[in-house]
Amino acid sequence: MSTVKACLAQKSARVFSLDSTATVVQALQMMREQRIRSVLVIEGGALKGIVTQGDCAIKVLLPGRDARTVTLAEIMSRDPQTVNMAATLDQCMKIMMGRSIRHLPVVDAGTVVGMVSIGDIVKDIMQQQGEHIRYLETYIKGHAVEY
C-alpha cells in the first residue's frame, strides 16, 4: 500500500484552515468553494482541531443554532488524530475505521502539511486493484515471465 507521502504528492499542497474564532458559515463557505468536506483549525501554526460538514450539520444546523454566530471553537473536534508522511494508507484506513472518521491531518516536523481522506484511500485501493487485474490478465494470456 502507498504511503502518505506518495498520496500527498498527487494532491494539491494547499492546507485549508481557519482559526477558532471563525464562524460555522465561514467554514461552510470554504468547504463549498474548495469542494472539501472538512477544515482544519490552526492557530499560531499549531493544529487545534478539525471541523467537518457533519459537525456543522449535527452540532449547529440540526439543533437550530445560528451558523453565523457559532464559532469553530464551539464545535471543533479538539486535538485530532494525525499521521506523519511515513505512514501507510493501510495504517490510515485502520485509524479511520477504528475512530469512525474520514479525514486525517498530516503533520511533518510539527507543521500540518496536508490531509488524507477516505476518498484518497479508496482511490489508492482502486488503482492497486487495477494493476493486479492487469497483471493477472497478462499471466492468464501466457505472457508472464517464467523462472
Look up the pTM and report it. 0.83
Contact 34, 117 (CB under 8 A): no
| Assigned domain for 17 exists | yes
Domain that holds residue 8: 4-140
Does residue 145 belong to any structural domain of this protein? Answer: no
Residue 146: inside a domain:
no
Please tell me the total count of domains within the chain: 1
Reported as a single tens digit per residue, the pLDDT across 24-62 is 999 999 999 999 999 999 999 999 999 999 999 999 999
Calculate what percentage of the chain has a pLDDT beyond 70: 96
pLDDT digits (tens, 9 = 90+) for 101-128: 999 999 999 899 999 999 999 988 888 7
DSSP state of 119: H
